[in-house]
Amino acid sequence: MKYYIGVDIGGTNTKIGILDDKFNILIEDRMKTLSKNGARETFKRIWNKVLELSKEINIKEEQIEGIGLGIPGPVENQSIVKIAANFSWGNNFDAKKLMEEITGKKVKVENDVRTIAIGEHLFGAGIGSSNLAVIPIGTGIAAGIILNNKIVSGSHGFAGEFGHIVVDKEGYKCGCGLTGCVETYVSATGLIRYGKKMMEEKKEGLMYERFKNSMNEFDAYHIFEYLYKDDIAMEVFDNFSDKLAYAISILLNTLNLDTIILAGGVAKSADIIIERVKEYLPKYTLSISLEGLQIKKSKLLDSAGIKGAAALILNN
């Protein structure tokens, strides 16, 4: 029996799973990434954790077929991390080579959003779809795009920067340097900022009454808690949905996708977001591009990254 390792390396936490050859997760654990100790140290700790988990379920090291790593930042040729996003591991960092050195196993590396997309496509809400985008919405927003059953990486691994489509030229300055990116509205950060701004301006409504003396406690999920009960929550939500629909419409018009999958932290409220996004879509999307379109929420949730990363090893 062969086994596959899927690793989802995040800025704070790293998730690790061992999968069988049917891609069932047999055991799964998480640990602090502690990236400051350097890439080699981090990768070694991940490998030790893998060996420890293997032992727990009686898998021998030689039964491990390979390791897939999902890492934030642009990844080229499923090996090189082009730009240090959340880690100070340097640009053009050969993550594949380092992990192969440490483990003696076959390693493939991919951008974390793309591993999530691959996971949903092969094992989750994207089964049966050939042209899809998986859009995780959390602190930020991006898209893992799959066309003709192949993940789109772009010429240098930078594809999927969906969050930096400019939707409001007079909008907020974005961390990326541009102005009015999708991400400034359609993200947890965006919801909080716009919600606070509206409450500070209008000073009314149930949500304002609750947070007026504790603005710091106001979080993105409160917008969803106060929907249909508070005008500010509704306006922030409508703006979020409108901007998201606009950005999705562009993918639909240019790529004629059959499926959109919402994932990430905000996916907990995906049902209500999908409902509203569907109302806005026809404003920006050709009717032919809406035909047969499915908009779904993530099915694998937190496991999508692990499954997608492990699948890199299979997927040649």
Binding site for a second copy (CB under 8 A): 74, 82-83, 130-131, 143, 145, 147-148, 150, 152-162, 164-166, 169, 176-179, 246, 249-251, 253-258, 283-289, 291-292
Cβ-contact 224, 215 below 8 angstroms: no
CB 37 within 8 A of CB 89: no
Whichever of 64 and 159 has its CB closer to a second copy, that residue is 159
Min dist CB 263 to a second copy, Å, is 17
| Closer CB to a second copy, 116 or 257, in the complex | 257
- Strand 132-136 and strand 106-111: the pairing is unpaired
Q: Which is nearer to a second copy, 103 or 259 (CB)?
A: 259
Report the DSSP beta bridge partners of residue 9: 14
Q: Which two tokens stand for residue 246?
A: 């606009």
- Sequence-distant (6+) residues with CB within 8 A of 33 are 9, 10, 11, 12, 13, 14, 42
In the complex, minimum distance from the CB of residue 257 to a second copy, in angstroms, rounded to a whole number: 7
CB of 125 to a second copy, least distance (A): 16
| Cα separation of the two ends of the chain | 20
Closer to a second copy by CB, 12 or 92: give it.
Answer: 92
Looking at the Cβ atoms of 18 and 277, the one nearer to a second copy is 277
- Residue closest to 27 by CA, chosen among 51, 63, 9, 11: 51
- As measured in angstroms, the least distance from the Cβ of 311 to a second copy is 18
Q: Which is nearer to a second copy, 4 or 246 (CB)?
A: 246
Min dist. Cβ of residue 156 to a second copy (A):
6
| Burial (0-12, 13-18, 19+ Cβ within 10 Å), 169 | exposed
Taking the complex as a whole, the smallest distance from the CB of residue 230 to a second copy amounts, in Å, to: 26
**Of 170 and 217, which CB lies nearer to a second copy in the complex structure?**
170
Scored b (16 or more CB within 10 A) or e, 260-274 reads bbbbbebbebbeebb
Minimum distance from CB of 135 to a second copy (Å)?
11
Q: Which residues are paired to 8 by β-bridges?
A: 15, 70
